[in-house]
Chains A and B, each alone.
Chain A
Amino acid sequence: MHYQTESWNSYLPTKSPTTDSLQLIQRLAAENAVVIFSKSTCCMCHAIKRLFSGMGVNATVYELDEDPREKEMEKALIRLLGSSSAVPVVFIGGKLVGAMDRVMASHINGTLVPLLKEAGAIWL
């Protein structure tokens, strides 16, 4: 698991903030096999990080509360998920998996591991 600490201000385009953020999120999500958007104070995020590390997955984590663009990122994630809490959100292989419940459900029904393998996040 490694954490992105660099500022993202260099990515600032000129269009509306939420669209920017959505694009940013999608871009960041595509850069690594497993990407988790989180907050350092969020306990459910801690749980989801533990789930992946317990499976031997090296996920890339972005802590929103350590970034100046937290508010816009939050709004974009809420729009994306259609839920009231922005974090945690998981992308695998650049594609949106969802929040904790979706991740857990896919682990239980056996679709998570194949997805991880396909993205190169784990090897048997």
Chain B
Amino acid sequence: MNSTSTQFVPSRRMGLCEPMPQVGMWNDYKENNCLHTSLPVLEVDTRFDNQSEDTSHGTVGPSNKYDQEDSKPVDKVMRRLAQNREAARKCRLRKKAYVQQLENSKLRLMQLEQELERARHQGSYIGGGLDTGQLGYSGTTNPGIATFEMEYGHWVEEQNKKIADLRNALYSDIGDVELGMFVDGGMRHYFDLFAMKATAARADVFYLMSGTWKTSAEHFLSWIGGFRPSELLKVLMPHLEPLTEQRRLELSNLRQSCQQAEDALSQGLEKLHQILSETVADGQLGEGNYLPQISAAMEKLEDMVRFVGQADYLRQETLLQISRNLTTRQTARGLLALGEYFQRLRALSSLWASRPRGSA
């Protein structure tokens, strides 16, 4: 909107929808006060000049009203009408802009509330996975992933409770049978997670592999979407002592078997990487027609789901095998150590995320 719009314009075509009480009023006023027309003219004009915003830019300046008397009342009328229309138009535009802004803010607020809910569900630990910037992830457009994010948040909360309960149980006087129940519950909770991940992998395996649902430290140390079984054994071993020589040997063999299985899966995944690249790059690059390559590549992507599944299956079997070789109390200690290990990783991620920036 510029000041030129306040110039005198022919009113007929513009003013059809405008109510025009002022015209009649003006005419009546004029007719009834013909001896004092100069005075009302001055007053009215001043008032209108103050009300319309930018007539002071002077295209139809105040100086005019001192010159005019009865001779050109129509001009003044037209001018005032134009200014009125302009003011009304600007007012409507401002109102429209304001409403639009309100609507946008409302949408933004709803979005933020949703993200906050999700973040809250992500865990009761400080920060949780927020440091990995997952608030902005478009997982909300995939219902399977949105479900997984929510369920995983609950899983972590539940996990923290289970660890606390297990700790209390271990340091209390309860018998092996009762302790065994805590152990079983703890193991099953991990298996629940593997089942959740299997469902999520079918929804979006890339999301699962990207690790955005985990905290940053956990993701850094992960292997094919979760913990590395051989590494797990290394963490647990000291906490399972005292061990007989035979048990120690068994666990050492288990660790070696895990390592071999991990290497095999890793190499399989590398081969998939290579094949996928070859499939996508197949044929003539540059002709703009690549539907056959993309279709072929889609099949390869399905293999990713199998690998994630095998990795979780390896984790499950390792956990089961560990418990088979140990007493209830040893397994309980092992589970506690494992649980707290991941708690520490999550805490590390939070601390890292909240460290003061800009320090040398």
Contact = CB atoms under 8 A, between A and B. Distances in A.
Given A47-B267, A104-B313, 11 more contacts: A43-B271, A43-B272, A43-B303, A44-B303, A44-B306, A50-B263, A51-B260, A51-B263, A101-B313, A108-B314, A110-B257
B113 interface: no
Interface in A89-114: 100-101, 104-105, 107-110
14 contacts: A41-B275, A43-B307, A44-B307, A44-B310, A46-B268, A85-B306, A101-B313, A105-B313, A108-B321, A109-B317, A109-B321, A109-B324, A110-B254, A110-B321
Contacts of B310: 44, 47, 100-101, 104
B261 interface: yes
B264 interface: yes
B276 to A, nearest CB: 9
A109 to B, nearest CB: 6
A54 interface: yes
B264 A50 contact: yes
B229 to A, nearest CB: 8
Q: Which of B258, B264, B265, B268 has the most CB of A within 10 A?
A: B264
A77 interface: no
Given A43-B269, A44-B303, A46-B271, A107 B313 contact: no
Interface of B is mostly: helix
A20 B321 CA distance: 39
B253 interface: yes
A104 B317 contact: yes
A124 interface: no
Nearest to A49: B264
Nearest to A54: B260
A12 interface: no
Nearest to A112: B257
Interface string B178-191: 00000000000000
B318 interface: yes
Interface size class of A (residues with CB under 8 A): 20 to 34
Interface of A: 41-44, 46-48, 50-51, 54-55, 85, 100-101, 104-105, 107-110
Interface string B245-283: 000001001100110110111011101100100000000
A46 B310 CA distance: 14
Given A44-B303, A44-B307, A110-B257, A105 B264 contact: no
Given A50-B268, A110-B257, A105 B306 contact: no
The 10 A-B pairs with the shortest beta carbon distances in the complex, nearest first, are A47-B268, A51-B264, A43-B272, A46-B271, A108-B317, A50-B267, A50-B264, A47-B264, A43-B271, A43-B268
A107 B256 CA distance: 10
Interface of B: 250, 253-254, 257-258, 260-261, 263-265, 267-269, 271-272, 275, 303, 306-307, 310, 313-314, 317-318, 321, 324
A104 B314 contact: yes
A20 B143 CA distance: 46
Contact of B275 (A43, A51, A105): A43
Contacts of A41: 275
A46 B267 contact: yes
Contacts of A44: 268, 303, 306-307, 310
Nearest to A51: B264
B263 A54 contact: yes
A59 B261 CA distance: 16
Given A44-B307, A47-B265, A54-B264, A108 B271 contact: no
B261 A108 contact: yes
A107 B303 contact: no
A108 B258 contact: yes
Contacts of A50: 263-264, 267-268
Nearest to A43: B272
Contacts of A108: 254, 257-258, 261, 314, 317-318, 321
Contacts of A54: 260, 263-264
A48 B267 CA distance: 10
A42 B306 CA distance: 11
A48 B264 contact: yes
